Amino acid sequence: MDTTTLSDLTLEDLLPHRDRMLLVKEILEIDSKTARALFLVDKSWPMADENGVHPLILVELAAQTAGVCNGWDRIQTKGRDSNQMGWLVGIKKADFTVDSLPFGSIITARAENTYSFENLREVSCELVMDNQIIGRATLQLFQAGEQ
């Protein structure tokens, strides 16, 4: 078991995302089963137009929050230099209550692994903006094994 702490890591250690696709601004809480992350809606995000960002991006925020949790679990069980392959994400269910995400808005996402077996996870996610739940998603994650 690895003794790495969160302060020893960067977001890039936990997620395969880089540059403008790394949307997580800050990790608020983390353990091997759950994570809570903070996002700041920005004009550089995918699906942004002059009015804000399309709410479909909430799926990506949920997936990155799940990735933080599962990246943490990978580092704790296999070490920091272990395979950093990303996860394929399927959307089992997703509900959004907003038409657009205003630029500058702060969104927090909480993801919890509700089912885990080898390289398969089912993750429940809740997304909050201005103390209101704006989305819920159930994701299915699969990570290919090493060759």
For 38-70, write each residue's pLDDT tens digit.
Answer: 999 999 999 999 999 999 999 999 999 998 888
Q: Domain coordinates of the chain in residue numbers? A: 6-142
Is 80 exceeded by the pLDDT of residue 3? Answer: no
Q: Which helix (H) or strand (E) holds 121?
A: strand 120-129
Of residues 125 and 68, more confidence is placed in 125
Torsion, Cα of 144, 24, 79, 9 (10° steps): 160
- Which DSSP string corresponds to 78-130? H-TTS-----EEEEEEEEE--S-B-TT-EEEEEEEEEEEETTEEEEEEEEEET
What integer pLDDT is reported at residue 2 of this predicted model?
Answer: 53
Burial (0-12, 13-18, 19+ Cβ within 10 Å), 138: middle
Distance separating alpha carbons of residues 3 and 16, to the nearest angstrom: 21
* Residues 71/31, Cβ–Cβ less than 8 Å: no
Condensed to tens digits (0 to 9), the pLDDT of residues 7-38 reads 767 767 777 666 778 899 999 999 889 999 99
pLDDT single digits (tens) 77-119: 887 777 767 788 999 999 999 999 999 999 999 999 999 998 8
pLDDT of residue 17: 64
Contact indicator for 41, 55 with CB cutoff of 8 Å: no
Quick one: which H or E segment has residue 71?
helix 57-78
CATH superfamily, with its number, for domain 6-142: Hotdog Thioesterase (3.10.129.10)
Query: Do the Cβ atoms of 2 and 9 come closer than 8 Å?
Result: no
pLDDT (mean) for 118-127 = 94
Provide the pLDDT for residue 129: 98
Global pTM value: 0.90
